Amino acid sequence: MSFLTLLPLAVVMVAGTQLVAAVFFASSDRPRAASLGYLAGAAIVVGGGTTLAWLAIRLFKIRLSTGGGRSGIERNIDWLVLGLLVVLAIVVYLLRHRGPPDWMGRLQHASPRYAFRIGLLLFLAMPTDGLTMIAVGAAAARHDQAWWHLLPFVLLTLILLALPLLALLLLGRRAATVLPRIRNWADTHAWIVSEAVIALFFVITVLDLVR
C-alpha cells in the first residue's frame, strides 16, 4: 500500500457539513480571512489526528514485534482498520440526510478567529473525521510508511476544503452561482462518494489481510 492509496479518504474527511461550512465562509463578509482561518483550524486537527494515530500504532508495533510475531500484529491492525471502515460506512449512511445545522447560517458574519475555532471544533466533533483519521494513521503505520506519507492526505483534505475559496478567487462574481452548487452537492451526493471510497479502501485492506 502506497501513500497514494490513502488519498481518496480525503473525500470522506470533507464530505457533507465540513464542505458546506467552507462554502459559507467563502460567502461571508470577509471570505478570504474567514476561509483561511477555517483551513488553519482544520489543518491542525487533521494533521494532529492522523499523526497521533500513526504514532500510536507505530509504537504498538515496535513494542510487540518480537521474533515471528510481526505478521500477526499486522493482521490485527488490518482487522482494526476493517472494523473502523465498517463503522465509518454505517455512520456516513446514518448521517446522509442530515442537513447543515441551524447555527451554520451565522458563519456568513464570522471573524477569522471564529472561523479558526469552527475549523478546530467541527473536525474534532465529527465522528466521520475521527474514524477516518484513525484509519489513515493506522494504515500508514501498519505498512511502515514514514510520517511524511501522511502529508499528501492532509494537503488534499485542505485543497478540497479550499475549493469554495478557490472558486471565489478564480470566478469572482460568477462564484455566486457556483458556490450554491457546491453546497447542494455536499448536502445530497457527497455521502455516496464517501461510501464508494470507503468500499475501495475496505477491499484494499482485505487484500492485505489475505496475503
**What is the grid cell recorded at 198?**
470507503
Residues 6+ apart with CB under 8 A from 168: 26, 31, 32, 175, 179
- CA distances, 32 to each of 3, 22, 52, 103 (Å): 31, 11, 30, 21
- Where does the pLDDT of residue 74 fall: very low under 50, low under 70, confident under 90, or very high at 90 and above? confident
Question: Global pTM?
Answer: 0.86
- Where does the pLDDT of residue 69 fall: very low under 50, low under 70, confident under 90, or very high at 90 and above? low
| CA 134/CA 77 separation, integer angstroms | 11
Any idea how long the chain is? 211
Amino acid 99: pLDDT: 63
Q: Is the pLDDT of residue 1 over 70?
A: no
DSSP structure class, residue 144: T
pLDDT tens-digit map of 142-186: 888 999 999 999 999 999 999 999 988 888 777 777 787 777 777
Q: Is the pLDDT of residue 66 over 80?
A: no
- Where does the pLDDT of residue 73 fall: very low under 50, low under 70, confident under 90, or very high at 90 and above? confident
| CA 74/CA 77 separation, integer angstroms | 5
Amino acid 4: pLDDT: 75
pLDDT tens-digit map of 94-127: 887 776 666 777 787 889 999 999 999 999 988 8
